[in-house]
Structure 1
Amino acid sequence: MAGPLSDEELGKIDAYWRAANYLSVGQIYLKDNPLLERPLTREDIKPRLLGHFGTTPGLNFIYVHLNRIIRNHRANMMYLIGPGHGAPGIIANTFLEGSYTELYPNIERNRDGMKRLFRQFSWPYGVPSHDAPEVPGSISEGGELGYSLLHAYGAVLDNPDLIVPCVVGDGEAETGALAASWHSNKFINPITDGAVLPILHLNGYKIANPTVLARIDPDELDSLFKGYGYKPYVLEGDDPKDMHQRMAEVLDTLYAEIQRIQRHAREKNDPTRPRWPMLVLRTPKGWTGPKVVDGKPVEGTWRAHQVPLEAVRDNPEHLKILEAWLHSYRPRELFDANGTFREELADIAPKGRLRMGVNVHANGGQLLVPLVLPGFRDYAIDPGVPGSRQVSATKVLGGYLRDVMRHNLGTRNFRMFAPDENASNRLQDVYAVSGKSWDAKQEPTDENLSVDGRVMEVLSEHLCQGWLEGYLLTGRHGFFSCYEAFIHIIDSMFNQHAKWIKSARELPWRKPIASLNYLLSSHVWRQDHNGFSHQDPGFIDHVANKKADTVRIYLPPDANTLLSVADHCLRSKNYVNLIIAGKQLAPVWLDMPSAVRHCAAGIGAWDWAGNDDGDPDVVMACAGDVPTLETLAAVTLLREWAPELKVRVVNVVDVFTLAPVSVHPHGLNEEDFNRLFTTDKPVVFAFHGYPTLVHKLTYNRANHANIHVHGFKEEGTTTTPFDMTVLNDMDRFTLALDAIRHSKAVRHRLEDAEQRFSEVRQRHKLYVSEHGEDMPEVADWKWSAR
């Protein structure tokens, strides 16, 4: 058969593919008798059949042909798969190439190891059925579909020698995140970045339905990808020998095309966006599996998606079909009597670090170089009298991040990501060092666009999150800023990354990666002008649900604490760090030495703001910049409304300090918590987010019954900044009244305080309605120690 493969090479490639398919089926079905040395029995079959066979033969087919390219050209390749539940194939291939056994020595390359390989798959306390951290060579958590292409593009940023073939399943291609991912080619610099080779794997079906891209006219599909800016190649068929020859030929062409593009760009210093090649590969669903079961077609239909034979333990006919299916791969030709893959077949795989299972980029912690960070104290704001100076905290942070970018230009290992909101969140100073990545048409009116820009901006939270994950997982550092309300768009992506970190921590061979750092600004309390749609602090709760060794949440109250927190987060590894800080002008409360001490502790009493002399009548607690402002304003009101009241002010930077140390490593022990919050005095707590989180973290504290939390209670509209706090009962007047209501020492003043409260709230409502802005006594308020 004509083609680039000799008869001998064709035979070996086909045998290698059959071996991968055999191991894939064995993982789904078998717990014993791995080499079929005796007839299959019911006892050889797992009691629960889990896994996805339908996509797996195609993934194996691609893997063995990529091995050929790697071996022929010593190519640096990392394999990403979007059909995440195709893990049986990736595990099979890494077992055949030896990388699996190197990482898991108990899975030997013999009969016993094969038995353990089969038994562990989708077995209690074994390995998952998807492309999880446990799988060598993987960086894409396969539990949820849609992110493979984003991870691939994030991986090749600043990796000029890396090629990432990325298999996009046709079911995955229907997700919103993946549909937008095709535009990533407009952000790749062919001079300084590597190449992604998208492979759209069309096998026609999802779990129970046809897929959209498999059913549209071929000309329409071709036009779609040409419209995205790609040069599509198409390969379709089901005859293995013919497909092997044609696959070898098309991959030779695709690899040569990538090399030509990169050579031209680098020799001519021409970053003009090329039409990168991609492959559309059509193969049958469940290729090489049972053709018909119980009189119904299986191969090439949705019935092959997961487990083509579901009743093997109870249906003797199904057991016979399974045995014939396994024998169709001719395992005795593939494995010797000891169960070892035959040397002449194993020899066609790449060797050493060229194997995709041990590609160093797939274990990014091995490549991680610490950032060179400027001294954050050099950006300190002198507050003078606490609260007397107002600055934009994120604008100050922008100056620091500008110099982080400058200090790491040489190593090219730091990027910033934002969904069209970098400047809106006041981080635009970074453009003095690096523009926004853009390799598409530019107009004279454009600003800060650069084909070599290191700020990734696109109006898609999905793209920013996916690129950043790919960048971090391959050993680099990043920073993601976003509007608080819309970070929810990537809730499930955050879930998958947090789960990856949790699982990777348990694998000694997975080295720690840089933390994923979020800055949420334009937050709920200062989205008064945009209205209810922009007002949602719920991402805090979402993050707080994850494992304590994975997540951190910081609510710095001013610019200096934000600098300290950001520096800490950029130095950290293996966390998701959530920072929430406002971009509007706001008071600076602490000088830098005080800010550093406060952030190191995560929580503390601000003695300068209270008058408790060690025995308070009430604790006024706060977490977040606006809650801190309203709390301190409430303290000044209490001096007027109840001057004899002894007040302690406690500020929380690290939200998890509220939890017991048994729940979170940052939690306070009981003695320290009781020292701050007392065991019997009322605590009026102004919180940035939903009040329930504070109650959740403190529910088993001694004084929990006395903690009265004010926060966002889902009341919002287009209004003024202060009215947002009024609508949600987190304003200074409500906080002061609540302190009097719950403090026995001044309860006799409650009636008078309630009258004052009603009068000022009435005046506020009338003033806002008439003037469209907050009352001068609110807008111009300044802290006073008297």
Structure 2
Amino acid sequence: MRDIPAREAEGATDEELRLLDAHWRAANYLAVGQIYLMDNPLLTEPLRAEHIKPRLLGHWGTSPGLNLVHTHLNRVIAARDLDAMCVWGPGHGGPAVLANSWLDGSYTETYPDVSRDAPGMARLFRQFSFPGGVPSHVAPETPGSVHEGGELGYALSHAYGAALDNPGLLVACVIGDGEAETGPLATSWHSNKFLDPVHDGAVLPILHLNGYKIANPTVLARLPEPELDELMRGLGHEPIHVTGTPDDDPLDVHRAMAVAMDTALDRVAAIQRSAREEGVTERPRWPVVVLRTPKGWTGPAEVDGLPVENTWRAHQVPLASVRENPDHLRQLEAWMRSYRPGELFGEDGRPLPDVLATMPRGPRRLGANPHANGGLLLRELPVPPLERYAVEVDPGKPGATQHEPTRVLGGLLEDVMEATTDSRDFRVVGPDETASNRLEALYRATGKAWEAETLPTDEHLARGGRVMEILSEHTCQGWLEGYLLTGRHGLFSCYEAFVHIVDSMVNQHIKWLRVTRTLPWRRPIASLNYLLTSHVWRQDHNGFSHQDPGFIDHVLNKAPEVVRVYLPPDANTLLSVADHVLRSRDYVNVVVAGKQPCFDWLTLDQARAHCARGAGVWEWAGTEDGVREPHVVLACAGDVPTQEVLAAASLLREHLPELSVRVVNVVDLARLLPEEEHPHGMTDAEFDALFTPDRPVVFAYHGYPWLIHRLTYRRTNHRDLHVRGYKEIGTTTTPFDMVVRNDLDRYRLVMDVIDRVPGLAVRAAPVRQHMEDQRLRHHDWIREHGADLPEVAQWRWNA
């Protein structure tokens, strides 16, 4: 285990300060050039309008501060031989991070056409926020990045996720003062209560306060320093302050920043040494650097008579009319020449030795650290054979036994956790629900990560534990994303209704994965796997607030090559699905499975075959005779809908034995899409063979019914498709009343069959009336007895 070393230095020497300033000026020059120029990158001739981009996009305000941080990270990484990466939180700091990647050579190694010379500098400038180029924010295309800068709030949780189980890694995290106002960021400060200084790396937060968002001051920047100091200390950090103003000599700020970085890293080294060598278990107070710099520092002080530097006007493009306004053009040229580019770049455009003197080399460069391209480090997850965990099912007696699917899965996850004890590359996260979701078997292999105070009544808390619980879905998501993006594996277990809290975060991760698929240098990473349980149909005890299956709709709106949704109907199919998703790469997998007792329908072999198909006929459940086509198709997706469809099939077998019924179960929801719309989609011929081209289909679905219509609207028999599902009708009630209230119950499904099969409406009117009577009886029964009808509660499949 490699510690983060101490240097015992008092900051930088005068010569180092000169070199640091040269690098910082070069990075600032490159950042400005990316925003404005499409030609004349070295200013070898006076700027003309045709050298300027027709559309000026990008964000200058945060860039000089980020360049300062990058410059000083370079110094300490090189001086201490650190294995370090950085998460860049300020959303649109792309010009700065791209500039530094170009300077350290990692950008040219990744994109050889953007060479580290004058032609390459021209390409670097032109491509920024330009059609066919790169985004204005730190993005998957940016070497050294693991954090999408297009949305704010997740930088610090990503940084902690990257540090988990990486004991030799330093993860610096720049937090913009706008981002610091978001709810996810506010909670993620508490991640330091979960970071184990023995087994995990270190996170160095750098709170970058430049005073303003797009148009308003920021809260933390306006706090007096003593009050901000108290806040940081209250969050468990030891603050180190660095302040620069427009009037300061930049060398003085460099000196203060160098001392701050050395002080912070010496404290990190001392914390790790005391924990790893001396056995200290008291929770440490980790350092945080509070960096105050002017917004738009070193840029135009005034434009058109209005103050710009150190105001909100510096946020994006300080000089907005450069092509049309000669005064703006002259100001831009004076601004760029103020960095003295002749001292920074040779005539060929290559950075001069002084600019590169303090930078690390090889994989120590922030743009080349392999942790920021996690697929390079990814190892296969040791998933044991499923036969160890499969429940016994008599092929001739499906549904004769019951198990809690997630409890069965818990045994598999326990052994995966045990098998990764040495490699420490698997974690399970969730908001206080691991045991509630029947996954408590994990605690036999590891405890719950916890570094704060413990009491005698606590259970399963452990330093170095690899189950992580915090009642913040945002933080759980951020931890896991950071963990996956740096080359490890994991699972997010959550109540179905509350996973919506991370809708925006999963959006960004899906976009990230979609872009990385187009980048050959980005190696595949382990998939982001959600296990959604305590789902809508069995939240009868918690009520309406806990009933929402809409995350599926949200995910299936996204990039089809990335997203997958699985609805296993029993324990063995859940095992098969889990085996698949845990081994998969570059997907977002959503698995919805119940934690309550569920009928066991399929043997393990049957489950594997069924999951491989994604959708198929359950011949044993229907009444097809192999000669006639079915009169009706009963389809289902989800554990409770499957039970109701099989109960309806049983009722039809009893009351309408002459009816030919086909039962179809769907595990992989994307199978319903056309093959040209999703890699898992069916051809029209496959769909018609399964669902028929012209027979009524009554589909019982786990979620909102319109999703099934949206997935199948182009199919031949969409007009014959009738979907039952959740209709946003919920309350605290009995389990069966939930399906009755939403017209998903077995009696309603039988009525739907009678209503839709030609010729049945008149002939089967007594049967339909009987079904309606049962629904009315149910209504009265639960209000008198507080429990479901005996024939429902005690129902078993009996073909």
TM norm structure 1: 0.99
Q: Secondary structure at the match of 2:187?
A: helix
The corresponding residue for 1:622 is 636
**Whole-angstrom CA distance in 2 between matches of 1:745 and 1:311:** 74
Structure 1 letter corresponding to 2:645: T
1: CA distance, partners of 2:444 / 2:763? 56
**SS of the residue 1:735 aligns to:** helix
1:141 to 148, 152, 167: 148
User: Equivalent residues in 2 for 1:84-483 (5 A)?
Assistant: 84-238=91-245, 239=248, 240-384=250-394, 385-483=397-495
CA distance in 1, matches of 2:693, 2:11: 80
What is the correspondence of 1:452-531 to structure 2 with a 5 Å cutoff? 452-531=464-543
Q: Render the CA deviation track for 1:654-676: whole Å, top value 9, x for unaligned.
A: 00111111111111112221111
- Does 2:574 correspond to 1:593? no
Residue 677 to residue 4, structure 1, CA distance change in 2 (3 Å) = closer
Q: Which residue of the other structure, out of 571, 575, 591, is the alignment partner of 2:583?
A: 571
> For residues 699 and 527 of structure 1, what CA distance do their matches in structure 2 show?
31
* Distance in structure 1 (CA, Å) of the matches to 2:280 and 2:686: 61
Task: Look up the match of 1:730.
Answer: 744
The structure-2 alpha-carbon separation of the partners of 1:616 and 1:604, relative to structure 1 and needing over 3 Å to count, comes to: same
Deviation at 1:764, TM superposition (A): 0.6
> Which whole-Å deviations, capped at 9, do the CAs of 1:634-671 have from their partners, x for residues lacking one?
01111233221100000000001111111111111122
- The CA deviation string for residues 259-312 of structure 1, in whole angstroms up to 9 with x for no partner, is 111111110133331100111000000000000111111000000011111111
Specify the alignment match of 1:606 in structure 2: 618
3-state SS of 2:347 partner: coil
* Residues 750 and 124 (structure 1), Cα distance of their counterparts in 2 relative to 1, 3 Å cut: farther
Q: Secondary structure at the match of 2:34?
A: helix
* 2:750–2:768 contact (8 Å) kept in structure 1: no
CA–CA separation in structure 1 for the residues paired with 2:374 and 2:527 = 12
5 Å matches for 1:646-665? 646-665=660-679
> Which of 21, 28, 53 matches 2:60?
53
Amino acid at match of 1:490: V
Contact 1:189–1:271 (CA under 8 A) maintained in structure 2? no
In the alignment, structure 1 segments of 5+ residues that lack a partner are: none
SS at match of 2:367: helix
1:163 offset after TM fit, Å?
0.4
TM-superposed deviation, 1:728: 0.8
Residues 271 and 192 (structure 1), Cα distance of their counterparts in 2 relative to 1, 3 Å cut: farther
Q: Does 1:674 align with 2:681?
A: no
Give per-residue Cα distances to partners, 1:336-355, cap 9 Å, x unaligned: 11111113322321111110
Q: Percent identity?
A: 62
User: Contact between 1:136 and 1:358, CA under 8 Å: does it hold in 2?
Assistant: yes
Contact 2:10 2:262 in 1 (8 A): no
Q: Secondary structure at the match of 2:92?
A: helix
> SS where residue 289 of structure 1 aligns?
coil
SS in 1 for 2:339: coil
Q: 1:742 aligns with which of 726, 750, 756?
A: 756
Does the residue aligned with 1:79 lie in a helix, a strand or coil? strand
> One-letter code of the match for 2:749?
L
Aligned-pair RMSD on alpha carbons? 1.1
Q: Please report how far the alpha carbon of residue 88 of structure 1 lies from its aligned counterpart in structure 2 after TM superposition.
A: 0.5
Report the Cα distance in structure 1 between the residues aligned to 2:224 and 2:457, rounded to whole angstroms: 40
Q: Secondary structure at the match of 1:16?
A: helix
When structure 1 is superposed on structure 2, of 178-187 and 233-242 the one drifting more is: 233-242
How has the CA–CA distance of structure 1 residues 559 and 3 changed in structure 2, closer, same or farther, with 3 Å as cutoff?
A: closer
Residue identity opposite 2:615 in structure 1? I
Structure 1 partner of 2:652: 638
Contact 1:609 1:649 in 2 (8 A): yes
Shift of 1:44: 1.1
Deviation (angstroms), 1:335: 0.8
Judge conservation of contact 2:23–2:354 (CA < 8 Å) in 1: no
Q: Distance in 2 between matches of 1:333 and 1:220?
A: 42
Corresponding position: 1:690 with 2:700 = no
- Residue 464 of structure 2: SS of its match in structure 1? coil
The AA in structure 1 aligned to 2:339 is Y
**Which structure 2 segments of 5+ residues have no match?**
1-8
Do 2:26 and 2:355's aligned partners in 1 also have CA atoms closer than 8 Å? no
Matched-pair contact (CA < 8 Å) for 1:392–1:583: yes
Correspondence list, 1:15-26, <5 A: 15-26=22-33
Q: Check conservation: 1:3, 1:245, Cα contact below 8 A.
A: no
| C-alpha spacing 1:753/1:314, structure 2 compared with 1 (3 Å) | farther
Find the aligned partners of 2:790 and 2:678 in 1 and give their Cα distance. 43
* Partner residue, 1:35: 42
1:757 alignment counterpart: 771
Contact 1:191 / 1:271 at 8 angstroms: preserved in 2? no
**Alpha-carbon separation, structure 2, partners of 1:4 and 1:388:** 73
Q: Distance in 1 between matches of 2:274 and 2:436?
A: 37
Residue 256 of structure 1: how far off its partner (Å): 0.9
Matched with 1:69 is 76
The worse-fitting range, judged by mean Cα deviation, of 350-359 and 668-677 is 668-677
Shift of residue 753 of structure 1?
3.1
Is this contact kept in 2: 1:645–1:746, CA < 8 A? Answer: no
Structure 2 counterpart of 1:267, which letter?
E
Q: Give the Å deviation of 1:632.
A: 0.3
One-letter code aligned to 1:41: R
CA distance in 2, matches of 1:753, 1:127: 65
Determine if contact 1:642/1:749 at 8 Å carries over to the other structure.
no
Tell me the alpha carbon deviations over residues 147-182 of structure 1, each in whole angstroms, 9 at most, x when there is no partner: 110010000101000001100000000000000010
For 1:245 and 1:33, the matched residues in 2 are separated by: 34
Give the secondary structure class of the aligned counterpart of 1:272. Answer: coil
Aligned length: 784
Q: Does the 8 Å contact 1:77/1:359 carry over to 2? A: yes
Question: In 1, distance between residues paired with 2:373 and 2:281?
Answer: 29
Quote the Cα distance in structure 1 between the aligned partners of 2:260 and 2:722. 67
> Contact 2:232/2:238 (CA < 8 Å) preserved in 1?
yes
**CA–CA distance in 1 between the matches of 2:401 and 2:232?**
54
Structure-1 separation of matches of 2:751 and 2:653:
12
- Equivalent residue letter for 2:306: K
Rounded Cα–Cα distance in structure 1 between residues aligned with 2:346 and 2:362: 23
Q: Which amino acid aligns with 2:601?
A: W
Question: Would the aligned equivalents of 2:344 and 2:354 in 1 still touch at CA under 8 Å?
Answer: no
**Displacement, 1:745?**
4.7
Structure-2 separation of matches of 1:311 and 1:216? 35
1:533 matched residue in structure 2: 545
Matched residue type, 1:473: L
Structure 2 residue 732 is matched with structure 1 residue 718: yes
SS at structure 2 position matched to 1:356: coil
The Cα shift of 1:3 comes to 7.0
Q: What one-letter code is carried by the residue in structure 2 that aligns with 1:563?
A: L
Aligned residue identity for 2:607: A
Letter in 2 for 1:430: L
Other structure's SS at 1:755 match? helix
Read off the aligned partner of 2:721 and give its amino acid letter: I
| C-alpha deviation, 1:750, in angstroms | 4.2
* 1:752 to partner: Cα distance: 1.9
Partner SS state of residue 391, structure 2: coil
TM-score (normalizing by structure 2): 0.97
